[in-house]
Chain A
Amino acid sequence: MSFTVRKDPRGVVVIGVDGQLIVGNRHELKQKVLEALERGERKLLVDFSNTGYIDSSGLGALVSLSKKIRESGGELKLAGLNEDLKTLFELTKLDTLFTIVESPEEAVASF
């Protein structure tokens, strides 16, 4: 389980979630996003292309980050969700709270 952070030439910070986003590593994701906000980044994308599973704590971490990013005048988008992950967002109605884009490339271009 790990997170990769890179900045796209178009100024979007892309955070990749490798493996799972769960109760055991959600704080690490929060820290990475908050560090980016502190550096002045305002366009953030979480890429789930290599993510197998998100638990309710991971969903909660995303909700809390989304609020913080919005309050800082930034924007958060999510991309690369597999069918299982999409189902989790739909069941919890979090698909109504987040901007979810099919591919990370599309998402970066859409900021």
Chain B
Amino acid sequence: MPAFDGELASLRLCLRRHPLGGQGGRRGVEIFLRVPTELDVVEEAVDLIARHCLALGLSARAARFNLRVALSEALSNAIIYGNRLDPSKYVDVRVLATDSQVTLHVSDQGDGFDPSSVPDPTLPERLELEDGRGLFLIRQLVDEVRFNDRGNVICMVLRRA
């Protein structure tokens, strides 16, 4: 059983070090955090993950800015659009940090969506709309974005410089 590394309000973070397999015995650290469907906890959750990623060697700028923005947006989207603010549901965050990159998976319990259907919010006709910038910011600030087929899990990769 992995040890619990930190506890903050309703959030409980689980961290374990383990070999990732493959040749050369590459090792990594996995962080797991279950987040309730509450917008008020997004900031705490992001702080907790960002602090651990900083401690695991992610650059200060990437931890403070790129990861913070991307994870905040992914969590907000998961809570609002994925779980539709249903308090009986939760969002899982899994982070895998290796020597070469930090990979963040954010999974909600919703029906998923088609990411290709999200329009570019910087188009002149969309610039004055209130919503629709979250996924765009994520794409701008991480090195790689992937979704599962259902569209309820986003995977974001930050490569180390």
Contacts and interface: CB of A to CB of B under 8 A. Distances in A.
Interface in A50-70: 53, 55-57, 59-61, 63-64, 66-67
Contacts of A96: 127
Interface stretch (B3-11, B67-75, B95-103): B67-75
For chain A, give the interface size range.
20 to 34
B120 to A, nearest CB: 10
B14 to A, nearest CB: 25
Contacts of B147: none
Most buried by A among B42, B73, B80, B128: B128
B65 A60 contact: no
A87 B68 CA distance: 14
B151 interface: no
Identify whether the interface residues of B are mostly helix, strand, loop, or mixed: helix
Interface residues of B, number: 26
Contact of A92 (B42, B64, B130, B136): B136
B130 A55 contact: no
Contacts of B136: 56, 91-92
A64 B121 contact: no
Contact of A97 (B72, B127, B132): B127
A69 B39 CA distance: 28
B71 to A, nearest CB: 11
A93 interface: yes
B40 interface: yes
A30 to B, nearest CB: 10
Contacts of A87: 65
Contacts of B40: 24
Nearest to B131: A60
Interface string B20-47: 0000000000000000000110110000
Interface of A: 20, 22-24, 53, 55-57, 59-61, 63-64, 66-67, 84, 87-88, 91-94, 96-97
18 contacts: A20-B43, A23-B39, A24-B40, A24-B42, A53-B69, A55-B76, A56-B134, A56-B137, A57-B131, A59-B133, A60-B131, A63-B127, A63-B128, A63-B129, A88-B69, A88-B137, A91-B140, A91-B141
